[in-house]
DNA sequence: TCATCTCATTGATCCAGATCAATCGGCTCG
DNA sequence: CGAGCCGATTGATCTGGATCAATGAGATGA
């Protein structure tokens, strides 16, 4: 981490995830309290942050980079159950151990809080626990959306659904014009997310490319010329009609 | 509903889900406040309680019976994303519409709260919002567990996993000796939960019966002579070694 | 510059579960 | 009682994605 980054990060007011993370609703004095108990940790791509069932004595927000939550069966089958992007929250207040393996898939910076003081703050600071409830409900919605993908979609629809989600979480996203981004996942990680094999992922990526729905520059860099066609390939209603 | 049931239900202190539902942590005075804004609704098996995207101006707890949350694609493929048993919470504070179809699969009684007053109470009553956070985190864990089932398990393991979950949520459950219960779902609903067809569900139920892992009396009534064998068939570690 | 490693692509074959179809058993209603 | 219905079972066949296997394309480093 450079000196400039370190100084940027030390101050919550300048934090890139200030308005989206678990601290989003905090007032200046509450932020000052959080600032007292926070510390940063950084990880390299590929590092395991926590192993499933290990004791985990902190909770954290992803500041930059991407991490994954995965579950593994005894025979080695693995399923990714969460994709953590900047501002997402990690860890469970009120429980000792980690329920999943947490792995950094890119270089990663996390803003950590020791669990005990954080739990104490949650009790006297409703702004934190309300924001955490809201974020947890959003994650639950995302998990249920993913259950539809895993249970009922074809391989091609699964790939298109994943590309759609990653595209929409880009900071520069706009639904019109080309959408360009880097996939934060290997083909194998995509397969683990989608309940497929990596060969099927590769074949379906090629199929979407041949159909002109995406174009690829290298393995990771994706261009989507028409988001509506991508959504159609994902089996989603192209007019994502929301009731607000 | 009989007169006896009605009288039983009108008093929170005697409520069968008093210690497990969203009100579990409430003090007597808080309970009295809840009592003011609550009302009961009952539904018959098969009735749809709310349609996806409909306005939903209440939240509720399941008092007795079973309901399901399902998502449907335009072409009719459906995936169940939640199974609501007594004490489970329904609805999302802070959002106008329902995200899923909610359907009663047995006769059902719900304890409802109008959304506005409930949201107001959540702000002044940390016991409620903390309990709701805890329940939502549990649901998120259950949803992620289910993602592993949907993404990576075989049809036989899926069926065994579902039986395992239903067996463990019986009020009379004990891990030793015969476990006996009624499935609250049709074969088709099981298929929607598991991302299978109803034919495959039927075949795998027969296979588990022929293997002696379960026995069936009629279509719905199940006896499990040995929970360890069922867990093994589900692909789960038979010593569910938990770190508390 | 060439060996090695990792990640990805592509081909050939196989099989678990989907699909299509017939039958069964219990229930309700005329 | 028999007709019709609904949920469930069982059989025959098909197919999407898994599996097994070979090859390619960048990156790293001796």
CA of A56 vs chain B CAs: smallest distance (Å)? 11
Q: Using CA atoms of B158, A204, B73, A182 in order, give the dihedral in degrees to the nearest 10.
A: 100
Q: To the nearest 5 percent, what fractions of chain B are helix, strand and coil?
A: 40, 25, 35
Residue from B160, B181, B171 nearest B232 by CA: B160
CA distance B88 to B20: 8
**Which nucleotides in chain D lie less than 7 Å from some protein C-beta?**
7-12, 16-21
CA distance A167 to A174: 9
pTM over 0.85: yes
Q: pLDDT tens across A8-29, in order?
A: 567 898 999 999 999 999 999 9
pLDDT band of residue A56 (cuts 50, 70, 90) is very high
Question: Which nucleotide lies closest to A197 by the C1' atom and the CA atom?
Answer: D18
Task: List the beta bridge partners of residue A48.
Answer: A103
**From the first residue on, what is the mean pLDDT of each consecutive set of 10 residues in chain B (244 residues)?**
52 92 95 94 93 95 96 95 96 93 95 96 93 96 97 98 95 92 96 98 98 95 96 81 41
Angstrom distance, A107 CA to D21 C1': 34
Q: To the nearest 5 percent, what fractions of chain A are helix, strand and coil?
A: 40, 25, 35
Q: Closest CB to A151: pick one of B92, B152, B195.
A: B195
The average pLDDT across A113-123 equals: 95
Q: Closest CB to B129: pick one of A96, A133, A147.
A: A133
CA distance A188 to A76: 14
> Helix H segments across chain A?
3-10, 28-37, 115-124, 126-152, 155-168, 187-194, 198-210, 227-233
Q: pLDDT tens across A148-183, in order?
A: 999 999 999 999 999 999 999 998 899 899 999 999
Give me the pLDDT at residue B3, please.
45
Give me the pLDDT at residue A238, please.
60
Residue A208 has pLDDT above 90, yes or no: yes
A70 and A83 in contact (C-beta within 8 Å)? no
Angstrom distance, B156 CA to C14 C1': 20
CA distance A67 to A90: 10
> Is the minimum distance from the CB of A14 to strand C below 7 Å?
no
> Is the minimum distance from the CB of A201 to strand C below 7 Å?
yes
Angstrom distance, B145 CA to D28 C1': 40
- Cβ distance B81 to A129 less than 8 Å, yes or no, reads no
Measured in degrees and rounded to the nearest 5, phi and psi for residue B181 equal -160, 165
Angstrom distance, A166 CA to C18 C1': 30
Q: Closest CB to A82: pick one of B139, B144, B145.
A: B144
CA distance B99 to A240: 13
- Cβ distance A147 to B144 less than 8 Å, yes or no, reads no
CA of B32 vs chain A CAs: smallest distance (Å)? 22
Question: Which residues in chain B have their CB less than 8 angstroms from residue A92's CB?
Answer: 137
Give me the pLDDT at residue A239, please.
55
The average pLDDT across A126-154 equals: 96
CA distance A46 to A72: 17
Q: What percent of chain A has pLDDT over 90?
A: 86
- Cβ distance A243 to B144 less than 8 Å, yes or no, reads no
Give me the pLDDT at residue B244, please.
38
Question: Which residues in chain B have their CB less than 8 angstroms from residue A97's CB?
Answer: 243-244
């Amino acid at each position: 981490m450079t000196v400039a980054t370190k100084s940027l990060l030390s101050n919550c007011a300048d934090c890139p995830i200030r308005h989206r993370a678990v601290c989003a609703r905090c007032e200046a004095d509450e932020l000052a309290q959080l600032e007292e108990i926070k510390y940063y940790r950084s990880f390299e791509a590929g590092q395991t942050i926590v192993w499933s069932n290990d004791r985990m004595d902190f909770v954290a927000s992803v500041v930059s980079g991407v991490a994954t939550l995965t579950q593994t069966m005894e025979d080695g089958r693995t399923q990714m159950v969460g994709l953590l992007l900047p501002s997402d929250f990690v860890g469970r207040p009120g429980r000792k151990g980690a329920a999943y393996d947490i792995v950094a898939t890119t270089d990663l910076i996390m803003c950590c809080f020791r669990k005990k003081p954080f739990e104490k703050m949650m009790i006297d600071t409703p702004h934190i626990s309300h924001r955490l409830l809201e974020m947890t409900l959003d994650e639950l919605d995302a998990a249920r959306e993913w259950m539809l993908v895993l249970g009922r979609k074809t391989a091609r629809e699964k790939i298109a659904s994943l590309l759609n989600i990653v595209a929409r979480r880009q900071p520069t996203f706009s639904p019109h014009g080309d959408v360009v981004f880097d996939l934060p996942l290997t083909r194998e990680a995509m397969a683990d997310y989608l309940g497929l094999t990596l060969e099927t992922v590769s074949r379906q990526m090629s199929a979407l490319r041949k159909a002109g729905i995406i174009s690829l520059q290298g393995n990771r860099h994706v261009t989507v010329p028409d988001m509506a066609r991508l959504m159609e390939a994902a089996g989603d209603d192209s007019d994502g009609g929301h009731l607000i």
